Amino acid sequence: MEKKLSLINQPIRKKDAMALVCGKPVYLDDIAPKDCLIVKLLHSPHAHALIEEIDTGAAEKVPGIEAIYTYKDVPQKRFTMAGQTYPEPSPYDRLILDRRMRFVGDVVAIVAGENEKAVDRALKLIKVRYQVLEPVLDFRRAKDADVLVHPEESWRALCEVGADNRRNLCASGVDEDGNLQTVMEDCEIVLEHTFHTKANQQAMMETFRTYASIDTYGRLHVVSSTQIVFHVRRILAHALDIPKSKIRVSKPRIGGGFGAKQTCVTEVFPAFVTWKTKKPAKLIFTRQESQTAGSPRHEMEMRVKVGAMRDGTIRAVDFYTLSNTGAYGEHGPTTVGLSGHKSIPLYNANLEAFRFQYDVVYTNVQAAGAYRGYGATQGIFALESMVNELADRLGIDPAVIREKNMIREGQVAASYYNEQMNACALDRCVARAKEMFGWDEKPLRQDMGNGKVRAKGMAMAMQGSGISGMDVGSATIKLNDDGFYVLSIGAADMGTGCDTTLAQIAAECMECDLDNVIVYGADSDSSPYDSGSYASSTIYVTGKAVEKACRELREHMSVIAAGILDCPPQELIFAADGVATADGGKKVSLGELAERSMNGNTETVQVTVTHSSPVSPPPFMAGMAEVEVDMETGAVELLDYVAVVDCGTPINSNLVRVQTEGGLAQGIGMALYEDIHYDAKGRIAEDSLMQYKIPTRLDTGRLRVEFEGSYEKTGPFGAKSIGEVVINTPAPAIAHAVYNATGVWHRELPITPEKVLMGILRREKEE
């Protein structure tokens, strides 16, 4: 395999591309049986309430209604909907239906019927009497508040995450290294500020959806738009209190996930209906439900203190994150960790001490979940903004202060689990971004003379590649007639293209055409175990499993070939079209070999390999933004965005580019447009795409993306991850540019025209 790579880092078309561009029926609602019961949910109008009485009598009489379920009908064992490796760090705080309502949108009842009209009518006829309780709406006052979100005895945390339901704590903890106080006191400049990010929505175009049916063997077959088929199986077994062997979970094409579908948002409801009625059932969330009862980003407030010398040497970072997990704790204990662990290491070079403390609190708002970046996005906004301000205070170029302090190849980061950076091209990313952007030539601020001001800003970012020592990826590769291969995976292609990129790895290893590799997945019955597609793990972890499986299959194939050619297997050479003796004298074609494998053969021609990595090598990037601010209206226009990414070896040069551009667009949305407001009763105002403004193609400016290669020796062909790191730079880079334009730091996202204008007016008043 030492020969020149032919399929790696190539702009290869996705295997499913033509089906998708031609609108083929490949998504959940296209393939769900036509006779599915329609399942809908009655949602709570109150942020905190107890159901005193619930009367479904009139609703049940609606013709076509099959079943209505309330809290009285469901198993009483608590579980979590978070798609994580067991035992999950997220507390077991859910029931399918509960008597206590914990946010506006919490589920009161499940209605299943023959058609949508009947179900809609029945939903209106359910009479509920609530005992309305005082909600915990301010996450800054949630810890140790008098009102408890989860007072129930049956609440439990499986892992030591510093959770305590009697204190509204979903998690808490501290990580530190060095003598923070001493170093901080010795610093010549110490800056401290508080930053706030909102509960942004993934807003994938396909909302949450699931259907369920009973198979030939009486088992529950759940088909879901999910990133995590195996975790869904376990979660459903817990929720329904039935054996895991009774459940099969598979996925069709997925219309986007971005982490949203790493939580079992819809699965339990139609699964429960089907298990009870033995009839197929489907639940398609509306956009409003996705916006109000989904699994958005954790709202965070971060207090960052940075200690430095006048020459810009950054010596100490003190970081405190308060994270709002909302009504339930999905991904609460884990997302918060990334806010510190994936921001502080960026400034590893001269760091003598750090402290990272956190609290994750329960409140009576929509439960948060996993969204691309997973806490790192929030933390990097805070720390990068802080470093930009430090550079400004010290009169040092923001690129220069980074060059002085950034993490570099070979360094060990105490703030990143003492991992060594095998592959780190962050320095080259910054250097290339400067060239592309013309950083040194452009002024920080330029008055355009027409009421508008142009300015530049920058940021760096990192993420991980899988969860070290935990994420498991597996691949099964099988030789078939004619010498084509079937690659089975449990990772989930959600539009990211992993069916194709993993096939590229297989084809490269087997030295065959990409069309010779068929990809199948993900199905909990037939796929090899995989934690699922999240935490930027698929290429790095599952991709390595593919590589190892192929290597093993080649050995088995050589044994068969040796039998045919009558020579020792170690003397054979594996080539694209078959296996030959070293001198090239004798050769068996792949087709012949495959044929022999099905005739009197005892050698294995299907190999499964499971892989896990003790490290999580970070991808890195640099981002630079040019904005134009209208000083009269506060409107911010993004003119140009330059991003240079180090994802190790890109496997597919098209897909890493589009991943980057897509991540940037989401980051731009988070920076400028995507807002969340709650009214006095805890209802979300932005419950549609009319109010929740994700960027259109008029809003994203020009995105210019390049890659700086590095070689991560623990990844397949040197690859690290790409999916998440790309969302992390826009918010701090744009906030920096807006400061340079207006003289005002915006420490809360999004940076809307109102905030920009009010900031300008406030500053003018002060002057």
Query: Is 690 one of the binding residues for another protein (CB under 8 A)?
Result: yes
163 or 725: whose CB is closer to another protein?
Answer: 725
How far, in Å, CA of 136 to CA of 49, rounded? 12
Interacting residues of 427 by C-beta distance below 8 A, sequence separation 6+: 403, 406, 408
Is the four-CA dihedral 187, 188, 190, 191 of positive or negative sign?
A: negative
Closest Cα partner for 384 from 348, 323, 343, 352?
A: 343
Q: How far is the CB of 500 from another protein (least distance, A)?
A: 9
183 or 636: whose CB is closer to another protein?
Answer: 636
Query: Is 661 one of the binding residues for another protein (CB under 8 A)?
Result: yes
How far, in Å, CA of 249 to CA of 653, rounded? 32
Token pair 């090239």 in the structure block, residue: 584
Query: Is the CB of residue 609 less than 8 Å from the CB of residue 509?
Result: no
274 or 666: whose CB is closer to another protein?
Answer: 666
Q: How far is the CB of 459 from another protein (least distance, A)?
A: 17
142 or 668: whose CB is closer to another protein?
Answer: 668
Near another protein by CB under 8 A: residue from 221, 253, 452, 746: 253
Interacting residues of 601 by C-beta distance below 8 A, sequence separation 6+: 560
Q: How far is the CB of 684 from another protein (least distance, A)?
A: 15
- How many positions of this chain bind another protein (CB under 8 A)? 58
The CB density around residue 392, as the number of other CB atoms within 10 Å, is 18
How far, in Å, CA of 73 to CA of 112, rounded? 14
Query: Is 652 one of the binding residues for another protein (CB under 8 A)?
Result: yes
Touching another protein, residues 182-211 (CB under 8 A): 202-207
How far, in Å, CA of 285 to CA of 294, rounded? 9
Q: How far is the CB of 695 from another protein (least distance, A)?
A: 8
Near another protein by CB under 8 A: residue from 60, 595, 658, 681: 658
Query: What DSSP letter does each residue of 673-715 carry, written as one string?
Result: T----B-TTS-BS--STTTS----TTTS-EEEEEE-----TTS
206 or 267: whose CB is closer to another protein?
Answer: 206
| DSSP single-letter state for residue 3 | S
Query: Is 121 one of the binding residues for another protein (CB under 8 A)?
Result: no
Query: Is 697 one of the binding residues for another protein (CB under 8 A)?
Result: yes
User: Residue 54 forms beta bridges with which residues?
Assistant: 128
165 or 262: whose CB is closer to another protein?
Answer: 262
Considering only 137-145, 344-352, 532-540, 659-667, which stretch makes contact with another protein by CB under 8 A?
Answer: 659-667
Helical (H) or strand (E) element with 213: strand 209-214
Is the four-CA dihedral 128, 131, 132, 133 of positive or negative sign?
A: negative
29 burial via Cβ count (<10 Å: 0-12, 13-18, 19+): middle
Q: How far is the CB of 88 from another protein (least distance, A)?
A: 27
Considering only 362-370, 462-470, 578-586, 692-700, which stretch makes contact with another protein by CB under 8 A?
Answer: 692-700
174 or 205: whose CB is closer to another protein?
Answer: 205
Query: Is the CB of residue 613 less than 8 Å from the CB of residue 466?
Result: yes
Query: Is 11 one of the binding residues for another protein (CB under 8 A)?
Result: yes
Q: How far is the CB of 727 from another protein (least distance, A)?
A: 11
Query: Is 254 one of the binding residues for another protein (CB under 8 A)?
Result: yes
Query: Is 27 one of the binding residues for another protein (CB under 8 A)?
Result: yes
26 or 237: whose CB is closer to another protein?
Answer: 26
Query: Is 10 one of the binding residues for another protein (CB under 8 A)?
Result: no
Q: How far is the CB of 233 from another protein (least distance, A)?
A: 23
Q: How far is the CB of 19 from another protein (least distance, A)?
A: 8
433 or 664: whose CB is closer to another protein?
Answer: 664
Near another protein by CB under 8 A: residue from 16, 60, 164, 177: 16
Query: Is 14 one of the binding residues for another protein (CB under 8 A)?
Result: yes
| DSSP single-letter state for residue 348 | -
Q: How far is the CB of 639 from another protein (least distance, A)?
A: 14
Considering only 19-27, 66-74, 147-155, 529-537, which stretch makes contact with another protein by CB under 8 A?
Answer: 19-27
Q: How far is the CB of 702 from another protein (least distance, A)?
A: 8
Greatest extent of the chain over all pairs of C-alpha atoms, in Å? 91
Q: Which backbone phi and psi does 670 adopt, to 5 degrees?
A: -65, -40
Token pair 């140009």 in the structure block, residue: 640
Tokens of 193: 């500020």
Query: Is 696 one of the binding residues for another protein (CB under 8 A)?
Result: yes
Query: Is 25 one of the binding residues for another protein (CB under 8 A)?
Result: yes
Query: Is 469 one of the binding residues for another protein (CB under 8 A)?
Result: no
**Residue 11 identity (one-letter amino acid):** P
* Residue-level length of the chain: 767
Q: How far is the CB of 563 from another protein (least distance, A)?
A: 42
Q: What residue spans of 69-207 are helical by DSSP H?
A: 116-125, 180-186
Build a one-symbol-per-residue string for 407-446: x at contacts with another protein by CB under 8 A, - elsewhere.
----------------------------------------
483 or 495: whose CB is closer to another protein?
Answer: 495
Query: Is 591 one of the binding residues for another protein (CB under 8 A)?
Result: no
Considering only 14-22, 88-96, 350-358, 430-438, which stretch makes contact with another protein by CB under 8 A?
Answer: 14-22
Interacting residues of 463 by C-beta distance below 8 A, sequence separation 6+: 342, 373, 376, 536, 618, 619, 721, 724, 725, 728
How far, in Å, CA of 482 to CA of 501, rounded? 23
Build a one-symbol-per-residue string for 472-501: x at contacts with another protein by CB under 8 A, - elsewhere.
----------------------xxxx----
Q: How far is the CB of 393 from another protein (least distance, A)?
A: 33
What is the crossing angle of helices 753-766 and 730-742, to 10°?
A: 40
Query: Is the CB of residue 394 less than 8 Å from the CB of residue 310?
Result: yes
Q: How far is the CB of 17 from another protein (least distance, A)?
A: 4
Query: Is 353 one of the binding residues for another protein (CB under 8 A)?
Result: no
194 or 653: whose CB is closer to another protein?
Answer: 653
Query: Is 255 one of the binding residues for another protein (CB under 8 A)?
Result: yes
Near another protein by CB under 8 A: residue from 141, 287, 303, 428: 287
Near another protein by CB under 8 A: residue from 662, 682, 715, 718: 662
Query: Is the CB of residue 458 less than 8 Å from the CB of residue 398?
Result: yes
3-state secondary structure of 479: strand
31 or 758: whose CB is closer to another protein?
Answer: 31
Interacting residues of 545 by C-beta distance below 8 A, sequence separation 6+: 473, 474, 475, 609, 610, 611
Q: How far is the CB of 287 from another protein (least distance, A)?
A: 4
Query: Is the CB of residue 225 less than 8 Å from the CB of residue 210?
Result: yes
Query: Is 666 one of the binding residues for another protein (CB under 8 A)?
Result: yes
Q: How far is the CB of 521 from another protein (least distance, A)?
A: 16
Is the four-CA dihedral 280, 60, 109, 78 of positive or negative sign?
A: negative
3-state secondary structure of 343: coil
Q: How far is the CB of 357 from another protein (least distance, A)?
A: 34
Q: How far is the CB of 116 from another protein (least distance, A)?
A: 9
3-state secondary structure of 166: helix
Q: How far is the CB of 725 from another protein (least distance, A)?
A: 14
Query: Is 286 one of the binding residues for another protein (CB under 8 A)?
Result: yes
Query: Is 724 one of the binding residues for another protein (CB under 8 A)?
Result: no
Query: What DSSP letter does each residue of 635-654 carry, written as one string?
Result: -EEEEEEEEEEE-BS-SBHH
The site for another protein (CB under 8 A) is made up of 11, 13-14, 16-27, 30, 117, 202-207, 253-258, 286-288, 494-497, 652, 654-655, 657-658, 660-666, 688-690, 694, 696-698, 700, 703, 705
